[in-house]
Structure 1
Amino acid sequence: AMSQGGNLAMWDKLTGRTQFIKPQHPEGKELRYHWNAALALHPFQDCGLYYGSQYVHKSLDCGQSWEIISPDLTTNDTLKQDQSNSGGLTLDVTGAENHTTILCITPDAEDENVIWVGTDDGNIQLTRNGGASWEKLNNNIPGLPANAWIPQIILSEHQGGEAFVVVNNYRMNDWSAYLFHTEDYGKSWNRMVDDSDVEGFVCSVVQDPENENLLFLGTDVGLYFSLDKGENWMKWEKGLPSVQIRDMKIQDKFDDLVLGTFGRSFYVLDDIKPLRKLAEEGKAILDSTLVVFEPGTVYQTSSRSYDGTRFIAQGDFVGDNKSRGAMFTVWVKPGKEEKRNSGKTETGKNRKEKKPDKKPKDTKDKKSGKEGKGKEKSDKKGKQITILAINTEGDTIRTFKRNIKEGMNRINWRPDSKGVNYPARSEPKEKREPGGMPMVPGEYKMIFEYKGNKDSTVLKVASDPRLDPAQFDPVARYKAMDDFNNVITGVTQAYNNLKEAKKSMNIYKDIIAVQEDSIKEEYGKLNKEISGQIDSLMNLYMLPESGKTEYRDNSKTLTSQLRNGRRFLSAATGAPNENAKIAVANATGKAEKVLVGINEFFSDQWPAYLDKIRALPLDIFKEYETIKIE
């Protein structure tokens, strides 16, 4: 951990113990540290560190001792080192005023003898022999502004000697964009980014470790990316404000781009594989009507509440959590009307781009004068895509739909296979396949269907890698839940039969209501008696509806016990334990008793009721006299 003035400490995450390890000059010379002094890990030594003052300090024992492996790599301009004698009544000695210091140290992960250094007064230095000698590269770089900041040097993972150097000079009222690139250890350079490519000065850059053509650029006004190694740049507009991007890193394991902003916290661009695919195959892939990009592996994990205040109301800032489960990136080719104004922001080297109109668009309805919500809001349901999950045996284990729009879409889905419906008093507004059953880890073919077009990809489902796989048996867990589903399916069908019977009784009730009084009285009592029996059976599933707010104990109802048994099975690590077996047995026993009562009703009382209704000489239609005008 580092703080201003070059203060450096080694901190134990487990115990909180802190040890001060700031380098000291062996001859007592003054060391100049930047407010954010350069710190880098040694790529070949677990306890190796590099730290920057005006020198490069090296430690191989976690800061217990240090070796200076460079001369002063800055301009050492003494006119810029007099801050302790400036400031008037209050001296400028906070550490923020330190100048002619090292800003960044970048050791080569492939060659431990190669180290790149950038300073806050414009020097770019390189050693290829572990610090025995250093080469200043400034004179090799055409267009490099003198005395500018060199806050970041990023080395390519694709070839040795390739580097991207970020330069900004806004402190000298030069707000231009500078990114320089070399492929031969700084012998020759080209300016990869200028003001015709992006807006704002450059703060950071990162190259995709898998595809060298995919670059991300952080500027003062947001994020840009290139699919062709800097020939063209496009601004990222979706979900990210036009804020300064100070630093970026790609998490190789999850293919995520992590952004550190100035004053707007962290952002994570989940799953850059679609951009990687575009960089590999070109944007011609977007000529297809429907394209599904390869998703990442989805892990079956649990979540816990974070440390600290749990219910914060509006007291604290809380960032968005990543959506759990799988995330699919789906391209739907826009129609002609969408192409007419696609919002494309690609820039090229040799052409000037028209600045976007910054005036807000008039969204008022000309007739009413009220603000409109746009056409997309008028269709609540929108267009939908059908998605099927197919296992290795070729069985379709899940079918579901998601809303989709033209252009690039992100679809989140917590993987599950087809489940069962529980007893419910009301009918669903939209019939859809129930989920809820876990997916056994493995590979699944995912088929996407939209307006007659199909595409597919493979989704890999894996167990939580943090857990011991020997303690889990997902196949046994699935079987136990599937067996219990048979119980749920049976009692749900019985409940639905009761609902249908009651619906038909309501029809008979309306017919009887128009009969003569003697029939109405006799059969009205019969209807009430049979309806009461049905209500009694339905109340075994769930408590009757109440018109007032009150606490009622529903723990003895069948639905409650079914969900209790399911809860034990869902949380199991494999086959049910003894406690789960008891919960399942109690629910199954309750279900069997309820079914006995329902089956007896439909075998005895219900047929007798139907026989009486069918034997009734119903007079449904009224006769009407001829009407004449006298």
Structure 2
Amino acid sequence: EDGGENWRKISFYKIPGLPKNAFVNDIKADLFNENIVYAVFDNHKYGDYKPYIYMSNNKGLSWKKITLNIPENNLIWRIIQDHIDPNLFFIGTEFGVYFTNQPSKKWTKLSSGIPNISVRDLAIQKRENDLIAGTFGRGIYILDDYSSLREFNTNINEAKLFKPRDSYWYKQKRVLGGKRKASQGDNFFIADNPPFGVEFTYFLNEKYFSDKDLRLKKEKELESKNKEVKFPNWDVLDDEEKEVNPSIILYIYSLDNMIIKKIQAINKKGFNRISWDLTSESMEVLSSLNYNKEQSGPMVNYGQYSAKLFKRINGLDIPISEMVFFSIKPLYENSLKAQSTEKTVNFWNEIIDLHNKTKQLNLNLKKLKEKVDIMIKSYERASKSDKIIQSKLFDLRLELLNLNQEINGSESRSKIGEPNEYPTIWNYIWAARSSLSNTYGPTKTQINSINIATNMYDKFIVSYNEIQQDIIPILSDLEKINAPKINTY
């Protein structure tokens, strides 16, 4: 009270319920009120593993126990107070970490991602709002951005999406040549970084169950009471088979309220986290081969964005949270003068668009070649012969094979790993795609590559359309010679 010149001893006898031989594990002054102090005690050396946390509102003259609902066998090692919310506290115990934002009411255990182990020390990284926990024998654990706990209360109706911290705009590098530790082996220890992009925290009051889940839950309750479980009607089972399982979807919006991406989130009661890697929705050509694969478009520009949480019930998306707003910021100013970010992102989109169009052209070309092969087979089964039709069909087949070679290169060279005589459109696209790995913007070579590839595509699409038109009259000619009908899908 006087800068350390005089110290006042506090007798343990004045602290209600505290054993006289207890050890002081931690003592902290309140960060916002000079009269308040918190103390953590430990009596396990005498076989007493009870938790002891006390709070004083008058500089230690009187004390109040705030252990509340912490289990009786869970001694406490550390206490730490949030630097922004005076009511938010964390404690390190013999069996994990707890928090409260109502110190006189309830403590809640933080159990996801950390073992049920002794947490001997706690620290807060104030800039990032990260909680660091030092364990006994199990290393260090970090809870990234716990700021959502400041807003948490038990009066949440259905769900709450907390405002995320702002994220940085940059391209990740694989410093070891691959993902995580690449080929370094098991002896090379690394810990996971926080997910790249924006990390969202949300709270669900309850998990959303399907009709089948609810039926099984009810049957389990009946079994536990030794009551009869009746076999459900077939109509009930059929309806369950048709039902779309409930799920949680996070929508990401641009500043003009356009949907940037929809992210599948976790349908689980309590706190959950999901991250957005700053990419837009993929415009990849969809087919039966890839429609179920996870795909992403190019990275968006930095700026202002928003997000909202939805529940998907029977295929319908229904909002369950308010909109939250956040920013994506450049990580730092480039050493070399970069092009405008708008130009860079537009170039990325141009590359992806051309890649998708060329891929679609390849798929269409493959289907058209298959169609011509079917037409040739149809001609072979016709009751009449016509050399002109036969010649046209094989000419079309050759045109398609030549166009395929112009687009994709020589098949005979490819089979033995020999390079093509001239670069294909794919060579130019991949040369331009290297700009996707940085934020400086496209080089002249990359711009030239995409221009050449675009011109090639324009030429190919004209050739493809001409072949497609040439097929139409031949279909009529085949009917005239009594050839089998063709499924023109």
TM range (shorter): 0.7 to 0.9
Alpha-carbon distance in 2 for matches of 1:337, 1:493: 41
Amino acid at match of 1:137: I
Which residue pairs with 2:218 in the alignment? Answer: none
Which residue pairs with 2:34 in the alignment? Answer: 160
Deviation at 1:532, TM superposition (A): 1.0
Which residue pairs with 2:198 in the alignment? Answer: 326
Which residue pairs with 2:403 in the alignment? Answer: 534
**Is 1:414 the counterpart of 2:270 in the alignment?**
no
Which residue pairs with 1:607 in the alignment? Answer: 469
Count, aligned residues: 437
Amino acid at match of 1:176: K
Query: What TM-score, normalized to structure 2?
Result: 0.77
CA contact (8 A) 1:179 1:194 kept: no
Alpha-carbon deviations, 1:249-277, whole Å to 9, x = none?
A: 22222222111101111111122222221
Gaps of 5+ in 1: 1-127, 341-377, 623-630
**Aligned in 2, Cα 1:414/1:498: closer, same or farther, shift over 3 Å?**
closer
CA contact (8 A) 2:358 2:457 kept: no
CA contact (8 A) 1:248 1:259 kept: yes
The equivalent position to 2:101 in structure 1, one of 220, 227, 232, is 227
Deviation at 1:385, TM superposition (A): 3.8
The equivalent position to 1:567 in structure 2, one of 428, 434, 455, is 434
Alpha-carbon distance in 2 for matches of 1:137, 1:544: 88
Alpha-carbon deviations, 1:75-125, whole Å to 9, x = none?
A: xxxxxxxxxxxxxxxxxxxxxxxxxxxxxxxxxxxxxxxxxxxxxxxxxxx
Structure 2 matches for 1:16-415, cutoff 5 A?
128-139=1-12, 140-193=14-67, 197=71, 199-278=73-152, 282-285=153-156, 287-288=157-158, 290-301=159-170, 303=172, 305=175, 311-334=183-206, 383-392=246-255, 394-396=256-258, 398-407=260-269, 408-415=271-278
Alpha-carbon deviations, 1:42-101, whole Å to 9, x = none?
A: xxxxxxxxxxxxxxxxxxxxxxxxxxxxxxxxxxxxxxxxxxxxxxxxxxxxxxxxxxxx
Deviation at 1:490, TM superposition (A): 4.5
Partner of 1:232: helix, strand, or coil?
A: coil
Partner of 2:83: helix, strand, or coil?
A: coil
Amino acid at match of 1:131: G
Partner of 2:103: helix, strand, or coil?
A: coil
Amino acid at match of 1:329: T
Amino acid at match of 2:291: K
Tell me which moved more, 486-495 or 179-188: 486-495
Amino acid at match of 1:478: E
Alpha-carbon distance in 2 for matches of 1:167, 1:553: 74
Alpha-carbon distance in 1 for matches of 2:186, 2:248: 37
Partner of 1:329: helix, strand, or coil?
A: strand
Amino acid at match of 1:602: N
Deviation at 1:243, TM superposition (A): 0.2
**Aligned-pair RMSD on alpha carbons?**
3.8
Amino acid at match of 2:305: Y
**Is 1:581 the counterpart of 2:444 in the alignment?**
yes
Give the structure with the higher percent helix: 2
**Aligned in 2, Cα 1:469/1:200: closer, same or farther, shift over 3 Å?**
same
Amino acid at match of 1:582: T
Alpha-carbon distance in 1 for matches of 2:419, 2:9: 79
Deviation at 1:390, TM superposition (A): 3.0
Alpha-carbon distance in 2 for matches of 1:618, 1:454: 64
Alpha-carbon distance in 1 for matches of 2:155, 2:60: 35
The equivalent position to 1:461 in structure 2, one of 305, 318, 328, is 328
Partner of 1:176: helix, strand, or coil?
A: strand
Q: Tell which has more relative contact order, 1 or 2 (C-alpha 8 A, sep 6+).
A: 2
Amino acid at match of 2:115: P
Structure number, greater radius of gyration: 1
Alpha-carbon distance in 2 for matches of 1:502, 1:477: 38
Alpha-carbon distance in 2 for matches of 1:156, 1:277: 20
Which residue pairs with 2:299 in the alignment? Answer: 437
Alpha-carbon distance in 2 for matches of 1:388, 1:329: 14
Deviation at 1:461, TM superposition (A): 1.2
CA contact (8 A) 1:178 1:194 kept: no
Alpha-carbon distance in 2 for matches of 1:232, 1:221: 17
Amino acid at match of 1:389: I
Amino acid at match of 1:563: W
CA contact (8 A) 2:125 2:132 kept: yes
Deviation at 1:194, TM superposition (A): 6.8
**Aligned in 2, Cα 1:566/1:185: closer, same or farther, shift over 3 Å?**
same
Deviation at 1:210, TM superposition (A): 2.2
**Aligned in 2, Cα 1:234/1:195: closer, same or farther, shift over 3 Å?**
closer
CA contact (8 A) 2:369 2:397 kept: no
Alpha-carbon deviations, 1:184-216, whole Å to 9, x = none?
A: 111111122278645421111112222233222
CA contact (8 A) 1:558 1:587 kept: no
CA contact (8 A) 2:30 2:36 kept: yes
**Aligned in 2, Cα 1:614/1:537: closer, same or farther, shift over 3 Å?**
farther
Alpha-carbon distance in 2 for matches of 1:545, 1:157: 75
Deviation at 1:172, TM superposition (A): 2.6
Deviation at 1:566, TM superposition (A): 3.2
Deviation at 1:567, TM superposition (A): 2.2
Deviation at 1:314, TM superposition (A): 1.8
**Aligned in 2, Cα 1:383/1:522: closer, same or farther, shift over 3 Å?**
farther
Alpha-carbon distance in 1 for matches of 2:455, 2:162: 48
Deviation at 1:544, TM superposition (A): 5.3
Alpha-carbon distance in 2 for matches of 1:389, 1:129: 55
Partner of 1:210: helix, strand, or coil?
A: coil
Which residue pairs with 1:103 in the alignment? Answer: none
CA contact (8 A) 1:325 1:415 kept: yes
Partner of 2:134: helix, strand, or coil?
A: strand
Identical aligned residues as a percent: 21
